[in-house]
Structure 1
Amino acid sequence: MSKTLKIGIIGSGGIAAAHVNAYKTRDDVEIVAVADVVPGKAAEFIDRMGLTSAKPYEDHRKLLEEDLDGVSVCTPNVAHHQTSVDALNAGKNVLVEKPMSVTLEQAIEMVEASKRNNKMLTVGFQPRYDPNMVLLKNLVQSGELGKVYYVQTGGGRRRGMPGGTFIRKDLAGAGALADIGCYSLDMALNALGYPKPLTVSAYSSNHFGTNPLYHPQADQFDVEDFGVAMVRFENDVVLNFKISWAMHMDSLGPTLFLGTDAGLKVLPAGQGPWSGVWDGRVGSITMFHDIQGHHTESPIPLQEHRVNLFHEKVYAFIDAIKEGKPAPIPGEQILRNQAIIDGILRSAALRREVDIEIPNI
């Protein structure tokens, strides 16, 4: 008989409900505890989600005293680091929501805790499970493009600024970079094999979020709503990155992979003011190459599917625990994603290029 995994949920906001809904589709998982620092919120969440056997806690450290196989960390961004480290030190496997952390130093501590305790740390990038994201990675890794030397990625919403905890630096750590920028970086870097970043030169602003014409919580808005950066990598690849929650433009352009033998243009799926970023599915992929001296454009057929990407993310965590597999999206890898975001924030603040230094862990 298959073992039933015992899972804890830390944080009981909207993203926690998405985790619970995925766990509840599996008959080999039981959610036994929920923690939230707001008094009464965990108990209300348990009742609302129908988690009849789960215990509520206000202190996640008390939850971690339970006999748990894993935890989903669904807190505001600033709590990802300490909560994950505490869980790993308590001998629990961790699925932490994106962004991994707020700073590079925090991400390093999380990976070190994972290795020290021999427990899994995986990060929640569900777009990875889109079959067409897999196709894109396979195309880039196949060698058909030759040497990839330049990548452009990012995304822009004409209007798509969230509110609440997302716009407060004391809770989110960063704005558009942390919310949707990390997805764009993961798509590009995963396709490239996650090369090591070396330097970044960046700019950021928040002209829209701080203007009451565009945001009802402008007086509370203290994160960036726009950012651009040029990132250099160890294998002589450069990345042109751009992200926006709001702008007077319909698009910041497609994602591009330029290689010595061919190039790829990738468009996101979806339409409307909240679309245009890589937190969802692939819209189209086109290869640009020469055939017998003729400029040729070849559309790459996309795979039609009904994969629930968020569920697949949670399932991969469950199955890795049960089968003793490595982390599906390992913290060691996303450490480099976080290092770039950290570098962008530092560079934008200093108004100059900065080095990115990642220790060998």
Structure 2
Amino acid sequence: MANSQRIGIIGSGGIAAAHAAAYKKLPDVEIVAVADVIPGKAEQFIAGQQLPEAKAFEDHRKMLELELDGVSICTPNASHHVTAVDALRAGKNVLLEKPMSVTLEEAADMVHASKQTGNMLTIGFQPRYDPNMKVINDIVQSGKLGKVYYVETGGGRRRGMPGGTFIRKDLAGAGAMADIGCYSLDMALNALGYPKPLTVSAYTSNYFGTNPAYHPEASKFEVEDFGVALVRFENDLVLQFKISWAMHMDTLGSTLFLGTDAGLKVNPYGTGNWSGVWDGRVGEMKLFHDFMGQQTETPIPVINSGKDLFFEKVRDFSESVRDGRPAPIPGDQIVIQQAIIDGVLRSSALKREVLIDLPF
């Protein structure tokens, strides 16, 4: 297509197929290249996704020599850092799948590369495109709650443990924290305006993942399947964060924002083993406040938009590149939650509270 936006995809696993499907729905956008380190896999992906004009590469650096307007990075967590930095330094705008990185240092390096080159780095948190998330943000940021002093967020699956690259420490960096915990952190922190974290005291375990009765790859399970943390922020704010891939319980509860004037309660969406996390829609929402001297509860209508949130994420990236807009979900925001996850893992290992040192 003449004058079309040229997109490359690095990594050709399951999430890459979702990116390809979204790009194919956009007018004047063409996927021209796919890279994967496994020989033959990029060719298979191109054939399966019906991308006859796309070229296949085993080395993403060779792919980055092409003229590209943007790149989707869909590799395992451990290679997010090198591929993102390479793409940014090659002059490409980057849509990076969550979690941002394995370590805080890697996340900071990516942000530095984006700032130094002037190329966009946006992180793939599609739940932000649920209009209910905007409602939550508007309520919290309106001042309706007064001073927010305590937030509780997280999520828990009764059974919902992935395998493969998700459970290897060298490839994933972390388990439930990175896989689904990042969503609940972004939900809360974005509503709060991403405040500065100071300390974290945390506990993690993997009793289910390492038990053959619950996981078929128990002998290879190296990450946490449960975690809980208390995070202190500037301005006398605390956040309780809890996450679970598996547990003997139906839920770890709602997300709560407690303020001096009102409180907001957001229930998770869905039922079943793989529900209970903030990776898309929300359930019932309710505002707790006083009215005319009486304790009052006001239901917040849930918007059932029917939007394809993943498509909205990819479209926003593409249009931001086209229009020269800032990153929709900037890396210098998400590096803050990466610092929290890093602190959780350090605190759990040391069995004590640790300081969070932001790189900026």
CA distance in 2: counterparts of 1:94 and 1:235, whole angstroms: 33
Superposed CA deviations along residues 188-212 of structure 1, whole A, max 9, x for unmatched, are 0000000011110000000000000
CA distance in 2: counterparts of 1:225 and 1:44, whole angstroms: 33
Q: 2:204 corresponds to which residue?
A: 204
CA distance in 2: counterparts of 1:249 and 1:96, whole angstroms: 33
Q: Which amino acid in 2 is paired with 1:198? A: L
Q: 1:270 corresponds to which residue?
A: 270
State the Cα distance separating 1:359 from its structure 2 match.
Answer: 2.7
State the Cα distance separating 1:3 from its structure 2 match.
Answer: 3.8
Q: Which amino acid in 2 is paired with 1:67? A: E
Q: Which secondary structure does the structure 2 equivalent of 1:31 belong to?
A: strand
The share of aligned pairs that are identical, in percent, is: 72
Q: 2:158 corresponds to which residue?
A: 158
Superposed CA deviations along residues 49-91 of structure 1, whole A, max 9, x for unmatched, are 0010001111110110010001000000011011100000000
Q: 1:190 corresponds to which residue?
A: 190
Matched, 1:32 2:38: no
Aligned residues: 360
State the Cα distance separating 1:316 from its structure 2 match.
Answer: 0.6
TM normalised by structure 1 equals 0.99
Q: 1:236 corresponds to which residue?
A: 236
Q: Which secondary structure does the structure 1 equivalent of 2:358 belong to?
A: coil
State the Cα distance separating 1:306 from its structure 2 match.
Answer: 1.0
CA distance in 1: counterparts of 2:300 and 2:358, whole angstroms: 36
TM normalised by structure 2 equals 0.99
Q: Which secondary structure does the structure 1 equivalent of 2:183 belong to?
A: helix
Q: Which amino acid in 2 is paired with 1:245? A: W
Matched, 1:111 2:111: yes
Q: 1:258 corresponds to which residue?
A: 258
Matches within 5 A, 1:1-361: 3-360=3-360
**Does the CA contact (< 8 Å) of 1:226 and 1:243 recur in 2?**
yes
Q: Which secondary structure does the structure 1 equivalent of 2:177 belong to?
A: helix
Superposed CA deviations along residues 237-280 of structure 1, whole A, max 9, x for unmatched, are 10000000000001111000000000011011111010000012
State the Cα distance separating 1:304 from its structure 2 match.
Answer: 2.3
CA-based RMSD of the aligned residues comes to 1.0
Superposed CA deviations along residues 129-159 of structure 1, whole A, max 9, x for unmatched, are 0000111100100100000000000000000
CA distance in 1: counterparts of 2:237 and 2:15, whole angstroms: 35
**Does the CA contact (< 8 Å) of 1:268 and 1:280 recur in 2?**
no
Q: Which secondary structure does the structure 2 equivalent of 1:184 belong to?
A: helix
State the Cα distance separating 1:303 from its structure 2 match.
Answer: 1.6
Q: Residues 206 and 292 (structure 1 numbering): CA distance in 2 closer, same or farther, change over 3 Å?
A: same
Gaps of 5+ in 2: none
Q: Which secondary structure does the structure 1 equivalent of 2:295 belong to?
A: strand
State the Cα distance separating 1:236 from its structure 2 match.
Answer: 1.4
Gaps of 5+ in 1: none
Q: Residues 144 and 69 (structure 1 numbering): CA distance in 2 closer, same or farther, change over 3 Å?
A: same
Q: Which secondary structure does the structure 1 equivalent of 2:12 belong to?
A: coil
Superposed CA deviations along residues 155-201 of structure 1, whole A, max 9, x for unmatched, are 00000001111111111111000000000000000000000111100
CA distance in 2: counterparts of 1:359 and 1:131, whole angstroms: 32
